[in-house]
Structure 1
């Protein structure tokens, strides 16, 4: 049966057509389907694919050239560690602070006090500034506010500004500190009557701020105003 099939002239033609078809075509396979395409069509498809890839590559290069690069940092990135931290402390503007506390005081007095306080006054500047903020406050026996204040109330409030609590009395304040010489006295030290009846706050350069007596106001006075009255200086601060 097989020999007669190959010998049949019609079968011989089919074999030759099949041979020419296979010799002149290329199979393009999509999935499981085999399709016979002309050889030149496959060549064109390959060339088109190559050209498309070339154009895509060219466009990609052109687009890349016009894009501005940006960088996003994730929130999960660890913060840098500080290896060393340094700073320089600037001295306060002493004259400006004193002027703010006592705007009605003449410039020469403020300059004198500022000079006595020095460049690094620390607690003393706060004490002096607080006392000067009461300038013009009327004297009121037992008072300790801007409505009315007495001598020991003034020094008590001045020292309270730096966290030092004092009793409202001349003798008790004097006993808290220790006596120093006039040459050692600095702004912020106490100036006390020897009879323990009056206390003021020393400003330096022969000046003091005081709540003197009923009928007066807190004011800056020179030490010469106490001529003939014994007094001494008392230091409460550690310096």
Structure 2
């Protein structure tokens, strides 16, 4: 079985990265309590790193299981092999010499058998460890997703601090964001508008439908159906249009959007400036 990357080393790297991200939240002149927005950014980054680690572990496990199956040794001693061993000794040798040849063959075969058993035991131990690591990492990814979604929902429904631009969400905007949050992890499917797959405008259309609004299943139509607003006016539930109206996302608050990216990806959070912004819309 080929060696695999030590799991503990990978986990330590992820942990140190998360600690560094937390430290980076403090200003250079002194430590300050991270805001909820900072915490959300850190959790999103940690969740993505945890998903990457899970994918790596699952690849290691699949490879180890395949190699363990292919490497099962055949060490049975068939009667004809003993006969072959005696034939290797010239017939003019004494019976003792011929018996010695068979004995030596048996010793060599026994050593092969012992080596094979040891290798199988090692492989079984590695497989058990990898399976335990994969199970634990799946639980960690799930827990981080819960934390991320709960914090995002809190941010979407909370008013802005006194003296800042208002981010208080209308009931409709909060409902649209809540719907989008509930679809996180669903796959991107071209032309789909739910319930188990989405394209970008299908997601925003369904999100606003769940909140009592109406938007067509088209980024171009949604541009026409929404009022133009400035970046400083954004509040959760507003739409963010990208790349010449080739893509649309729903603003979730605090510099984050939720969107259905592209084939092979899933509904997820992303920074609002993930690509060139065309403009903003409000229903």
TM-score (structure 2 length as normaliser): 0.43
Q: What is the deviation of 1:194?
A: 4.7
- Once the two structures are TM-superposed, the CA of residue 174 in structure 1 deviates from its matched residue by 1.0
1:207 aligns with 2:247: no
Aligned residues: 133
Cα distance in 1 between the residues matched to 2:174 and 2:151? 13
- Residue 191 of structure 2 aligns with which residue? 142
C-alpha separation in 2, matches of 1:103 and 1:126: 23
Q: For residue 117 of structure 1, what is the aligned residue in structure 2? A: 157
Offset of residue 223 of structure 1? 2.0
Which runs of 5 or more structure 1 residues have no equivalent in the other structure? 1-101
The 3 A distance-change label for structure 1 pair 225 and 113 is: farther
Identify unmatched segments of 5+ residues in structure 2: 1-141, 160-167
The aligned counterpart of 1:235 is: 282
Question: How far apart are the structure 1 equivalents of 2:201 and 2:244?
Answer: 14
Structure 1 pair 127–141 and aligned structure 2 pair: CA distance change class (3 A):
same
Whether the 8 Å CA contact 2:172–2:213 is kept in 1: the answer is: no
Judged with a 3 Å threshold, the aligned counterparts in structure 2 of structure 1 residues 133 and 197 are, in CA distance, closer, same or farther, namely same
2:217 corresponds in structure 1 to 168
Structure 1 residues 106, 233: closer, same or farther in 2, change over 3 A? farther
Secondary structure of 1:217 counterpart: coil
Higher helix share goes to which structure?
2
Task: Write out per-residue CA displacement over residues 96-146 of structure 1, whole angstroms, 9 at most, x where no aligned residue.
Answer: xxxxxx976363674355235325741222111111111111101110113
1:192-212 per-position Cα deviation (integer Å, ceiling 9, x unaligned): 015011000001110000001
Partner of 2:176: 127
Larger radius of gyration: 1
Equivalences for residues 6-85 of structure 1 within 5 A? none
CA distance in 2, matches of 1:169, 1:132: 20
Match of 1:196 among 238, 245, 251: 245
Pick aligned residue for 1:225 from 270, 274, 278: 274
Q: 2-side partners of 1:131 and 1:104: how far apart?
A: 18
Which structure's residues are more often strand, by fraction? 1
Residue deviations 1:61-100 (CA, integer Å, cap 9, x gap):
xxxxxxxxxxxxxxxxxxxxxxxxxxxxxxxxxxxxxxxx
**Which residue number in structure 2 is paired with residue 107 of structure 1?**
147
- Hey, what does 1:95 align to over in structure 2? none
Structure 1 Cα separation of the partners of residues 147 and 222 of structure 2: 31
SS at match of 2:175: helix
